[in-house]
Homo-oligomer: A and B are copies of this chain.
Amino acid sequence: MDRFLDPELFRLLSEPTRVKLLSCLIKCGRPCSVTEIAECCSIDFSVVSRHLASMAKLGVLDASKEGRTVWYEARTSEIADRFRAIADSVDQWKTQSCCGGAGCDCD
């Protein structure tokens, strides 16, 4: 389970600004440029650039450069699958037990 409970992924989604950008991209369902999203969400484009890059690095977004424009697109299926994997792994642990009491080694 700990393999799926990736703090880095959650850290990305814990920032309202990033979630706003991601939400925008998911809803648009098409590749968007940095400038486009920056204007759409009224956020400084340097901030948007950094956030989108970090999300692409973690596989949440797809990035493709075309001339001087970078197109970002939400990897929607990938995101949904990842959350389902988390749900499944959490469920699996329901039946297991890590400690018999005294000698617990959860860490």
Contacts of A47 in B (CB 8 A): none
**Per-residue interface assignment for chain A, residues 1 to 35, with 1 indicating a CB less than 8 Å from any chain B CB and 0 otherwise:** 11001011011111110011011101111100000
The count of identical subunits is 2
Contacts of A23 in B (CB 8 A): 1-2, 5, 106
Give the top 4 A-B pairs by smallest Cβ distance, nearest first. A27-B98, A24-B106, A11-B14, A83-B87
Query: Measuring CB to CB, which residues of chain A are less than 8 angstroms from any residue of chain B?
Result: 1-2, 5, 7-8, 10-16, 19-20, 22-24, 26-30, 40-42, 76-77, 79-84, 86-88, 90-91, 93-99, 104-107
Additional 18 contacts, C-beta under 8 A, given A1-B27, A84-B84: A5-B13, A7-B13, A7-B15, A8-B14, A10-B19, A14-B14, A24-B106, A26-B90, A27-B99, A28-B99, A29-B95, A40-B106, A79-B87, A80-B86, A80-B90, A82-B87, A83-B86, A83-B87
